[in-house]
Amino acid sequence: KKLWRRIEDWFHVYQFFKVPELNDTTQHNHLYRKVSLYLHSLPSIEDSDFANLITGKKQNDIVLCLGPNQTIEDHFLGATLFWFNQTGTFLLKIRKVDKRRILRPYLQHIHAVADEIDQRGKRDLLLFMNIADDFRRWRSVPFTHPSTFDTVAMEPDLKSKVKSDLESFLRAKQYYHRLGRVWKRSFLLYGPSGTGKSSFVAAMANFLSYDVYDIDLCKISSDSDLKSLLLQTTPKSVVVIEDLDRFLAEKTARISASGILNFMDALLTSCCAEERVMVFTMNTKEHVDPNLLRPGRVDVHIHFPLCDFSAFKTLASSYLGVKEHKLFPQVQEIFQNGASLSPAEIGELMIANRNSPSRAIKSVITALQTDGDGRGCGLIGRQTEDDEMDEPDGVVCGETFHTVKDLRKLYGFFSFRVTRRSSSSNASLPPASPLEKE
Ligand SMILES: Nc1ncnc2c1ncn2[C@@H]1O[C@H](COP(=O)(O)OP(=O)(O)OP(=O)(O)O)[C@@H](O)[C@H]1O
Ligand SMILES: [Mg+2]
């Protein structure tokens, strides 16, 4: 086959086109991602001499990925085209006689196929993190966080509001453009630790089928690095800044408030903020400059309260598989008396006792009785300065306290910071936003 190709090459004049991953200003070249999606969807990838086998998005899914310096053949409108995978660049080889006839429609075809793959959500999602040793680069890993809107316990009305808000955002491209606005939507998730903010971000990304860019502001050295990182994000992504309140409170921060304001406004022209969902998480917004959170900068505020009885029932249903239980009235009464724990704490108690729903619910009751009095003692009150939890000296659910740490390691894609501040509990979407009016 190779010999035949060489003989053929002898009789043809070829032209080459490069599709680099980054353009001159080190921004991502969106065509590169599209070409990559397209090539990896071609059946002929199986015929390449060397391909990598990697795990796909779904469990037990194995996908083929073109290896470095490998060639893949494609056919379009009667012409044969060759793609080479050079590291960071795809090289297209096309016969000169075919070029004029097929190049444009071929590129349009690639766009259309890649868009379709995106739409079908077939694309494997990625989690990007900025790295400490190179302030201006992202590093990516497959994003496989299993959280969905079904697994996050939340007031049902609010959950469906957020879902329809995101759905209408996805359809609102023309609407935003008619208004001369950047097609983006920003969310503030605030509430005590362990109430599901990070899980909710993952659920949003899974729902939208968007990549996640998790910005750690502590690893950024200046405003311009922040800008540069934002410029490198790709459309169809959720850009997340966790614990913004904590960062703003730090006096030693290397990024100015105006740097963050600019970032939040995504002022850097529409090209770098189109089709982005921005999410900021905080424990409390009490001490944050309201200007930073004004409508337009942050479109939707969502409060994540501590667990109430209805959230408890949702957790019991998903963690223990029980919809009703004879101990429920007792639990309800304790909640009515004002006791509460975070969903994370209750979830962990349930996981530790998942073989016996009664024992699990009893351990929640005990924990609520000891810890739920305004979060003054027990699990919560035992935090030390450096955010580590002490071992409990009581016997109550002793096993669970170990599991807390273990599970955090297990579940966390996002950092679990254990600052706890209590706050009140009404979840709300702010009223007037352009999309909601629509
Ligand atoms: N509302 C919830 N519904 C279901 N599970 C929850 C909920 N809240 C927390 N959990 C569980 O608790 C664990 C921690 O939750 P998560 O990291 O999302 O909390 P967080 O609000 O981001 O906390 P932090 O402010 O400390 O970052 C996760 O494993 C998650 O599954
Ligand atoms: Mg979190």
Domain edges within the chain: 2-119, 126-305+424-437, 309-411
The predicted structure's pLDDT at residue 396 = 27
The predicted structure's pLDDT at residue 304 = 95
- pLDDT surpasses 50 at 433: no
Q: What amino acid is encoded at 401 in this protein?
A: F
Report d(CA 131, CA 412) in Å as an integer.
18
Examine the predicted complex and report whether its ipTM is higher than 0.85: yes
CATH number for the region 126-305+424-437 comes to 3.40.50.300
195 lines ligand 1 (CB under 6 A): yes
Ligand 1 nearest atom to the CA of residue 154, by list position:
1
Ligand 1 nearest atom to the CA of residue 411, by list position:
29
Of 299-303, 313-317, 356-360, 425-429, the poorest mean pLDDT is in 425-429
Q: Which residues share a beta bridge with 89? A: 20, 86
Mean pLDDT of 418-432: 38
Rounded distance from Cα 384 to ligand 1 centre (Å)? 20
SS3 of 317-357: HHHHCCCCCCCHHHHHHHHHCCCCCCHHHHHHHHHHCCCCH
Rounded distance from Cα 344 to ligand 1 centre (Å)? 5
Name every residue whose Cβ is closer than 8 Å to that of residue 400 and which is 6 or more positions away in sequence: 348, 349, 352, 353, 363
Of 33-37, 221-225, 299-303, the poorest mean pLDDT is in 221-225
The predicted structure's pLDDT at residue 395 = 24
Of 195-209, 286-300, 327-341, the poorest mean pLDDT is in 286-300
Mean pLDDT of 179-206: 91
Q: Which residues share a beta bridge with 189? A: 281, 302
The predicted structure's pLDDT at residue 429 = 44
- pLDDT surpasses 70 at 57: no
Q: Please list the alpha-helical segments (H only) found in 217-301.
A: 223-232, 244-249, 257-265
- pLDDT surpasses 60 at 417: no
Report d(CA 256, CA 266) in Å as an integer.
15
Of 145-149, 259-263, 265-269, 339-343, the poorest mean pLDDT is in 265-269
Tokens 């850009």 correspond to 239
From atom 24 of ligand 1, which residue's Cα is the shortest distance away? Answer: 193
Secondary structure of residue 292 in the 3-state scheme: helix
Pair 39, 66: CB distance under 8 Å: yes
213 lines ligand 1 (CB under 6 A): no
Rounded distance from Cα 109 to ligand 2 centre (Å)? 41
Report d(CA 350, CA 149) in Å as an integer.
20
312 lines ligand 1 (CB under 6 A): no
From atom 28 of ligand 1, which residue's Cα is the shortest distance away? Answer: 344
Average pLDDT, the chain: 78
The predicted structure's pLDDT at residue 345 = 93
From atom 18 of ligand 1, which residue's Cα is the shortest distance away? Answer: 196
Residue 201: band (very low, low, confident or very high) from pLDDT cuts 50, 70, 90 = very high
* Structure-token pair, residue 399: 């096993």
The predicted structure's pLDDT at residue 383 = 32
Ligand 1 nearest atom to the CA of residue 147, by list position:
31
- Considering every ligand atom shown, identify the ligand nearest to the alpha carbon of residue 191 and give its number: 1
Pair 229, 241: CB distance under 8 Å: no
More confident residue, 207 or 120: 207
Residue 49: band (very low, low, confident or very high) from pLDDT cuts 50, 70, 90 = confident
372 lines ligand 1 (CB under 6 A): no
Residue 374: band (very low, low, confident or very high) from pLDDT cuts 50, 70, 90 = very low
Q: How many CB atoms lie within 10 A of CB 5?
A: 13
The CATH architecture that domain 2-119 belongs to is 2-Layer Sandwich (3.30)
Rounded distance from Cα 155 to ligand 2 centre (Å)? 19
- pLDDT surpasses 80 at 1: no
Residue 437 DSSP label: H
∠ CA 184-270-41, rounded to 5°: 75
199 lines ligand 1 (CB under 6 A): yes
The candidate with the shortest Cα–Cα distance to 40, out of 141, 128, 110, is 110
CA dihedral 266, 267, 271, 274 (to 10 degrees): 40
Mean pLDDT of 258-264: 74
Pair 210, 236: CB distance under 8 Å: yes
Mean pLDDT of 277-290: 89
Q: How far is CA 86 from the centre of its chain?
A: 29
From atom 7 of ligand 1, which residue's Cα is the shortest distance away? Answer: 196
378 lines ligand 1 (CB under 6 A): no
Residues in the chain: 438
195, 304, 400: which to mutate for ligand 1, most atoms within 8 A of CB?
Answer: 195
